[in-house]
Chain A
Amino acid sequence: MIHILTGPFGSGKTEISINLALRLKEVAEDVSLLDLDVITPYFRIRDVADLLGEMGIDVVTVKRELKYMDLPIIPGRLTELFSKDNAHIVVDLGGDDDGARVISSLKSLLDGKRISVYFVVNVFRPFNETVDEICYNIERLSSRSRLKFDAIINNSNLGDLSTEEVVLKGEDVVTRVSEITGIPVKWTVLDEALAKHADISGFKYPVFLIKRFLGTPWEGRR
C-alpha cells in the first residue's frame, strides 16, 4: 500500500508522514518512509533519518553525503521500493505544485499499485485560508501530480497557540471544501501536547494524534 501526502507548502506533510509511518509500523512489519521533498531546505525527513531508522522505519532518502545539498534530489531504490507487494510506503512530497510534480514523473511506477493520496491542509497558512483558495490548490496540485485525491487531512493549527477553537475552525473550512470537491475528510490532526488538555468531543472527524519530530535548536529537536 502506498500512502502519498501532498499539499500546500508548510501544511505539515512531513510531520504527518513520520507519524503515519510510525503508526503503520505498530501493525505492519515492512514500513518505508520515502522523502521526495525537493522544496524545503530545512526540517526534512533526512534530518531525522537516523532516529526513524532506530525506530524500525526504512527511511528512503538522499545519500548521506548529499544530505545538505541545495539540489532537488530524488533518491534511488524507487523501482524496487514500489514493486514490493506487502509493504506500506509513506511518501512525503514537497509543498505546492513544484513539490507535487515529482510524483507525476514517477507515475509509471505507481500504475496498478494500491495507492491512497492525501491532501494535507492548514487553514491558518497563507494562501490557504478560504474555501476558494483551498479548492483552487486542490485542483492545481491534482493536475500537477496527475493524481486524484482520496482524502483531505485537516492539519489546521497555530503551533503553540493552537486551541480547540483553532482546530474546529479548520474542520469547518475543510467540511465546506469536502462538500464542493466531493473528497472526504479522513482525519483531524492533533498535536499530542494540545491533546493532553483539549476536549475533543466536539470534533467532527477522527483524530490523528501526532508527536513532533522536527523542531528548533532551543526546543532540543531538529
Chain B
Amino acid sequence: MKKLMMKGNEAIAEAAIRAGCRLYFGYPITPQSEIAEYMSRRLPEVGGTFLQTESEVATVNMVYGAACTGKRVMTSTSSPGFSLMQEGISYIAGAELPCVFVNVVRGGPGLGDIQPAQSDYFQATKGGGHGDYRLLVLAPSTLQEAIELTMLAFDLADKYRNPALILADGMIGQMMEPVELPPMRDLSTLPDHSSWALTGAEGRAPRKVTSFNIDPYGLEEMNKRYQEKYRRVEREEQRWEEYKTENAEYLLVGYGTMGRILKSVADRLEEEGLAVGVFRPISLWPFPDRRLKELSEKVRFVFTVEMSSGQMVEDVRLAVDGRIPVHFYGRMGGVVPTPEEVIRAFKKLL
C-alpha cells in the first residue's frame, strides 16, 4: 500500500475517493477547507463532480438530491456550517438515504473560533435536527484511523441506508502524519441500490424518495421502521478501543484527539505506579455502552475528559449507571487540555 505524509483533512478526502465517492458538494470553512480544496483537485481526475455551493443549506440539499440516486456522496464542514445543514440532514435521515458528512469541530457556540473542540457531541449523537432520527457517528483519533473510518462510514451508510458522520476536530483535520492508503474501490463492487434509487423511470414505474407522510399512522409506521434499524445498529455497530485496561484500577474515557492525549496520560501515570486504562469510544452513536458497563465493574472510578463542558460524559454516566463515581474534566472554547493538566486533575480525585 502506498505511504504518504498527509494532513487529516487530505486523508479524509482521499479516503472518500478510494471508498468510491465521486460527488462532493461543499462550502469552505476553517479548519476543514482542505477537504474541499483536495476534492476540487482530485475528483475531476477520477471522473467525479466537485461543486462549491453558495451556502451550507444549498450543500445539504444537493447531497440530499445526489443521495437519492444511490451514488456515494459526501460533504464536509465545521461546526457553524454543520448547524446550518441540520434541517436537510433530518430530511435525509427520514428518507433513509446513504451519504457521509464530515464535521471538523471548532470552538463554539456561535461563530466561536477556529481551534479544535468537541462541543458538537450532543448535536452529532442526539439528533441535531428535528424528529426521531440518528446519525451513525464515528470519531477518529489518528489519521490512519480517519482513513479507515471514512471508508467504513460509506459502507455503514449504504448498509443501513442512513447518513453517517465523521466527527473529527480541528487537530485531527490539521495535523500531519504518515498514512497508508488503501486501494481504490472498484465502483462496480459497490452495494446495489437499484431497488429504490432514482435513476430515471424508463422501463419501470416511477418512484419517489421522501420523508413525508401526512397520515400520522403511516408516519408512525415509518418511524417504527427507523427505530428498528437504530436498535439493530446499537446491537451490531458499537466500536471502541481499549488501552491498558487489563488490570486497570482507574479508567480514563475520551474520544478523538482527547483519546490520544489520555493514552499519554495513562503512560505517564503508569511510570508513577498507577494502573490507569483508557477507553476510547470510536462509534459515538451507537455509544459503546455494553463494554463500558463491563469495565466499570472492575475499576474504582471513571474519569472522562473532553474538549467541551461535558457532553459525552452523560452517555458514560448512563453506561456506568451509578455503580462507581464518574468524574469529569474539560476545557472549552478550542483549548486543548495538556497531559500535565489532566494528570493534575486526575490526582485530585485520588
Residues of A within 8 A of B (CB): 9-10, 40-43, 68, 70, 122, 124-127, 129, 157-162, 216-218, 220, 222
Contact = CB atoms under 8 A, between A and B. Distances in A.
Contacts of B114: 41, 68, 70
Nearest to B14: A126
A217 B257 contact: yes
A5 B257 CA distance: 31
B115 A126 contact: no
Contacts of A159: 5, 176-178
A127 B177 contact: no
B204 interface: no
A5 B325 CA distance: 53
B261 interface: yes
A40 B174 CA distance: 9
A41 B31 CA distance: 7
A158 B14 CA distance: 17
Contacts of A129: 4
A122 B336 contact: no
B339 A126 contact: no
A126 B264 contact: no
Contact of A217 (B4, B113, B337): B337
A10 B9 CA distance: 12
B5 A220 contact: no
A68 B4 CA distance: 29
A100 to B, nearest CB: 16
6 contacts: A9-B34, A42-B31, A124-B178, A158-B3, A159-B177, A217-B338
A188 B337 CA distance: 35
B260 A218 contact: yes
Contacts of B31: 41-42
Contact of A122 (B5, B257, B263): B5
B10 A126 contact: yes
Contacts of A42: 31, 115, 170-171, 174-175
Interface residues of B, number: 31
Contacts of B339: 217-218, 220
Contacts of B57: none
Given A159-B178, A217-B171, A217-B339, A126 B38 contact: yes
B44 to A, nearest CB: 13
Contact of A158 (B5, B175, B261, B336): B5
A-B interface, 3 closest residue pairs, ranked by CB to CB distance from nearest: A158-B178, A161-B178, A42-B174
Contacts of A127: 41
B263 A157 contact: no
A161 B179 CA distance: 9
Contacts of B317: none
B269 interface: no
Contact of A68 (B115, B175, B261, B264): B115
Interface string B239-277: 000000000000000000100110110000000000000
B71 interface: no
Given A216-B260, A218-B339, 12 more contacts: A41-B30, A42-B115, A70-B114, A125-B4, A126-B14, A126-B38, A157-B5, A158-B4, A159-B176, A216-B171, A217-B337, A220-B338
B84 interface: no
Contacts of B299: none
Nearest to A219: B264
Nearest to B111: A70
Nearest to A69: B114
B142 to A, nearest CB: 11
A159 B178 CA distance: 6
A126 B4 contact: yes
B161 interface: no
Contacts of A218: 260-261, 263-264, 339
A125 B4 CA distance: 6
B7 interface: yes
B319 interface: no
B152 interface: no
Contact of B174 (A43, A68, A161, A217): A43
A159 B5 CA distance: 7
B30 A70 contact: yes
B270 to A, nearest CB: 15
